[in-house]
Structure 1
Amino acid sequence: MAAGGFCKLPNGSVVVALNLPSPGAEGSAAVRFLVHAQNRARALTRLRNLGLRAVYLRGNAAPPTPDEITAVLHHPDGLIWRTAPDSGAGAVTELWHPIRALLRRPAEPVS
């Protein structure tokens, strides 16, 4: 299910986009991550350092859109996420979140 891609910017840096299963959700929930870095390897390293260990970019099947590139370039951390859109859904209305919002989510109690 992991789809992703990258876009090289005129200044030499890259924006990497990855769709991954949500770290805290079960089922088909997916999260789209956007990372701005000097190169693809550094972008993936930033995600791995946050605990997403099995992150790989194979191919360029789902590169970031121009709107996504603008969003990540204007964020001070250069690392944002939101729920990945369904393939049959229209436009996404959810706003982008900083990575801290995903990592600080409290674990749901098991009943």
Structure 2
Amino acid sequence: MAGGGFMKLPGGSVVVALSLPTPPGGAAPAGGRVRVLVHAVNRARALTRLRNLGLRAVYLRGNSEPPTPDEITAVLHHPDGLVWRADPGDDTESWHPIATLFPRRRRAGAA
């Protein structure tokens, strides 16, 4: 089950933080967890952004692990508004764009 939470910003938008198992074949360490941050207009839109990336079973129940001020700053300063890093709490690891979390998909017909 994903732990996570959200923080409503003064402008009305939201930052959602989720701790998820590492996607199979992803760039993060296998068997571990990743912390994913999403900036969106509202919580539903944030979860939709993750589902559109292939994380279909992502739900936010409660607010047990809201984003920290440092996490909010990281996601607000990223152009896509979607970042991740390994979850164990290693503050020395930098945040990565969400595209690096998933394996590259081969295009049909590509050699």
Task: With the length of structure 2 as denominator, give the TM-score of the two structures.
Answer: 0.85
User: Which residue number corresponds to residue 46 of structure 2?
Assistant: 43
What is the CA deviation profile of residues 55-83 of structure 1, one whole-angstrom value per residue up to 9, with x for unaligned ones?
00000000000000000000000000000
What is the CA deviation profile of residues 26-56 of structure 1, one whole-angstrom value per residue up to 9, with x for unaligned ones?
43x0010000000000000000000000000
User: Which residue number corresponds to residue 21 of structure 2?
Assistant: 21
What is the CA deviation profile of residues 68-107 of structure 1, one whole-angstrom value per residue up to 9, with x for unaligned ones?
0000000000000000016xxxx5211000011112358x
1:33 to 2:32 alignment: no
1:64 to 2:67 alignment: yes
Task: With the length of structure 1 as denominator, give the TM-score of the two structures.
Answer: 0.85
Report the Cα distance in structure 1 between the residues aligned to 2:82 and 2:54, rounded to whole angstroms. 14
Q: Please give the secondary structure, in 2, of the residue aligned with 1:44.
A: helix
Over the aligned positions, Cα root-mean-square deviation in angstroms equals 1.6
1:6 to 2:9 alignment: no
